[in-house]
Structure 1
């Protein structure tokens, strides 16, 4: 898709809505984890979302995927984009705040640029992107705390688990581009979530036992939110933004999510973030701005258009 420099007003509105939806998902997942185990929280996320998306696909009469190749691609995408990152981040959220989780999650865009440059010839790592990636690395390290990189307490391991999830997202992005572009986006999302369900269900039963069914209303509400709203509906909104604003503009949502998650974590759970986490997010945001390039070009064009003073 051709990059777009101008973002329509309706795309901005959709981006803000998506940021609020995904920002709220961190709080919803943490709320559910008060009562259910990490793998069960993932199963309760991907299975209902897959069912909702298949209902949408059938309603729209979209072409159904056929052949073992298609379902093999969905299975691997479900592993890389759902089963692994959702599980790692759910376990990580047991030990770190929702705000810090969202900040580390924003690093997905940085790792995605780096990994894509290694795989695709048309996404090579330019000098500007290299600077942005370096700033992104520094931002994540600052958010974690440079001293924590040398320690191996449970909090450090939880942060590393979240980072592992973002790396899995980056690999999934490359796999999705290579193998899933032939499917309608909604079908690809439904197939991916089905693959994730097939993988996470037996693992959940083997390691945690049957997922509990007698859940508190607040847990059920949290699950309904992050499964139906923040996964199934969010994918549909995601693809709408992609169509009207372009893939490059979608990266902006990663900058909008952490403020939402940080605010909700503070208001609802009384969470506090260390100043280093906020400084790390600022560095990470700067890195993403440099990678994107458009704000820098806009500043340069504005400077060039300014009449020189004599």
Structure 2
């Protein structure tokens, strides 16, 4: 999620540190699905607003401790606005709505398809990102897994909400657009991108909630304050900082492994804390999606890993 040219000489982590970092970051991010689900009474716009505002406040406090400025520098605000939308309030609103329509584990598995979308669009946009035969197989596999997961939604008696599926697909597309945009960002400090993203996610989401729905959209916030704060701090600010450090020390290719672990932890949390059941279709579809994502992300990436 950042430009490698801006990263100072990294110190490669030991395998133990790398595994611990991947596990910790993926668990924190996966917990966001749990906190969103238990805050289901909160309107999606208000939930996105609270997530962004709490996340921004947490990161701003960290910047204050580090004695860094929180104000945008130069044209930095343009990146903040774009990432705040496509990596912030838009997917946050879609995720909040999607989780009111479908199970947590299935939603996470659909969101895990974002690297497949990035791979296809990168193939069309960047000459150096052409899909090799093996990566093309991964893309096809991934979309087969998506068909297994969301295909039954086309049938009215399936019990699967097509609107929930569309919301999660839209969430994946939004994240993909943000990832592609970062390719064009030059001289970007990853921690400042994280801060700006949260600021420009929370404020627009708040305005939208007040204009589109009205103050009543925040009526359920006091009763759900604890999970909302946890969503902003534990599942947003903390994993972003850890992820930026992981990119700096391990490189983007290894750091991307977080995306493979998230659906697994999300499924575990959903079963343990929400009492959800995962059927054979979800297990098979999720496994196929993750296999495709792994083939796409770990094949033919020597140049990215060494750059």
Give the shorter-chain TM-score range: 0.7 to 0.9
Offset at residue 232 of structure 1 (A): 0.7
Aligned residues: 290
Deviation at 1:183, TM superposition (A): 2.4
Question: Could you tell me the TM-score, scaled by structure 1's length?
Answer: 0.86
Counterpart residue number, 1:18: 25
Bigger Cα Rg: 1
Question: Does the aligned pair in 2 maintain the 1:30–1:98 contact within 8 Å?
Answer: yes
1:122 pairs with 2:132: no
The 2-side partners of 1:8 and 1:194 are apart by 34
Q: Give the alignment partner of residue 273 of structure 1, picking from 273, 278, 287.
A: 278
Q: For residues 52 and 199 of structure 1, what CA distance do their matches in structure 2 show?
A: 18
In the alignment, the residues of structure 1 paired with residue 122 and residue 68 of structure 2 have an alpha-carbon distance, to the nearest angstrom, of: 29
**1:111 alignment partner, SS class:** helix
Gaps of 5+ in 1: 298-310
Q: Secondary structure at the match of 1:271?
A: coil
Shift of 1:73: 2.2
Tell me: CA distance 1:5–1:72, structure 2 relative to 1, closer, same or farther (3 Å).
closer
RMSD between superposed Cα atoms in Å:
2.6
> Residue 134 and residue 56 in structure 1: after superposition, are their counterparts in 2 closer, same or farther (change >3 A)?
same
Matches within 5 A, 1:293-304: 293=298
The 3-state SS of whatever aligns with 1:182 is coil
Q: How many angstroms does 1:122 deviate by? A: 2.2
CA distance in structure 1 between the aligned counterparts of 2:42 and 2:22, rounded to whole angstroms: 31
1:232 and 2:237 matched: yes
After superposition, the Cα gap between the structure-2 partners of 1:24 and 1:123, relative to the gap in structure 1 and judged at 3 Å, is same
Q: Does 1:192 align with 2:192?
A: no
* Residue of structure 1 equivalent to 2:305: none
Q: Which residue of 2 aligns with 1:244?
A: 249
Gaps of 5+ in 2: 6-10, 303-307
Report the alpha carbon displacement of residue 60 of structure 1 after superposing the two structures with TM: 2.0
